[in-house]
Amino acid sequence: MARVFMIGLPTHVRLRVEAAAGQRELELLSVPSGVGKAGTFRLLPHESEAVYRLREYVDEYDNFAVCLIHVLPYAPLPHDVEQELKTLKEYGAMIFRPVPGEAGWPSMSSAKRRDQVFWDTLYTAIVAALPGDALQRQPPSAYFQSLAADNPRMLITPKSIECADDVAKHRYEFLRCVANALDLYARDGSSGSIDTFFAQHGLDHAKTGGITAKLTLHKGGKVVLRYAGNTHLKQGDKTTRISAARVYYHTFTDDKQPYAALLYAGPHPNDDLEREYILSDR
């Protein structure tokens, strides 16, 4: 059974979330949060204990890359927890930090009201972010295809997923997380910078590197876009090739709609990438 750690899980929805996690065959561990005297959220039973609970969770693993940590955005975190999260991310842990008011997460203004609408919205957002359903147990290549089949603006270019399942097994969750992020971008775009967008999904966004990825986009018999760049998402540095998972992509707009094109997903590529895609003109 997979284990997920959640920081700042409000006691008001804790039992419902734990039940939903159990249905997905997940063990959910958490640092709960409640409403303090000032009417704001705070970690329970005291913020000083949060770092020890976090360490208890990660100490169960020899490889931090399999750690799944969700940081809910409503209760302030003490400095030692922030430092621990920074270190864990450097060692490859998957850390999800949603932003209030974006991607279905209730805003801070609604959090102040803490009415039933807020709790229901928060519960829905938390459950949607949990891994573990049948779709998310698919290998990365099938997962990318499943999302693209339901989202015509998420483009899987030829050869882009041929190597996706060749990454080390502990990188599968990373690739599925990238797929989720690209799917969301292709549906709603990004209200802020692309760096901030991917950071909210716990993803390491790089703009430089030794590999150049190219995309030629055709529409209506014409070339409508040419792209060449080094931008990619990654997990794993200074490790074996199959543990150095890389995803090259390109985002663009057409008819004022956001698109995300996958150019490569898999182990660190050895050579530059060149892709072509025919965009439907319907």
Do residues 207 and 231 make contact, with C-beta atoms less than 8 angstroms apart?
A: yes
Out of 114, 129, 144, a domain closes at 129
Q: Measured between alpha carbons, how far is residue 189 from residues 29, 70, 232, 237 in Å?
A: 32, 22, 17, 29
Q: Which amino acid is at 282?
A: R
CA-based nearest residue to 277, from 187, 215, 227, 228 = 215
CA-based nearest residue to 126, from 9, 2, 3 = 9
Same domain, 74 and 191: no
Out of 77, 111, 129, a domain closes at 129
Same domain, 113 and 157: no
Same domain, 157 and 216: yes
- Number of folded domains in the chain? 2
Same domain, 233 and 110: no
Condensed to tens digits (0 to 9), the pLDDT of residues 59-97 reads 988 888 788 899 999 999 999 999 999 999 888 888 988
Q: How far apart are alpha carbons 201 and 181 in whole angstroms?
A: 7
Condensed to tens digits (0 to 9), the pLDDT of residues 172-193 reads 888 988 998 899 899 888 877 8
Same domain, 235 and 122: no
Computed from CA positions of residues 177, 236, 199, 61, in that sequence, does the dihedral angle turn out positive or negative?
positive
> For residue 28, what are the domain limits?
2-129
pLDDT, residue 61, reads 83
Out of 100, 129, 158, a domain closes at 129
Same domain, 175 and 101: no
Q: How many residues does the chain have?
A: 282
Supply the CATH number for residue 120's domain: 3.40.50.2300
Predicted TM-score (pTM) of the model is 0.59
Same domain, 93 and 190: no
Cis amide prior to 76 (ω within 30 degrees): no
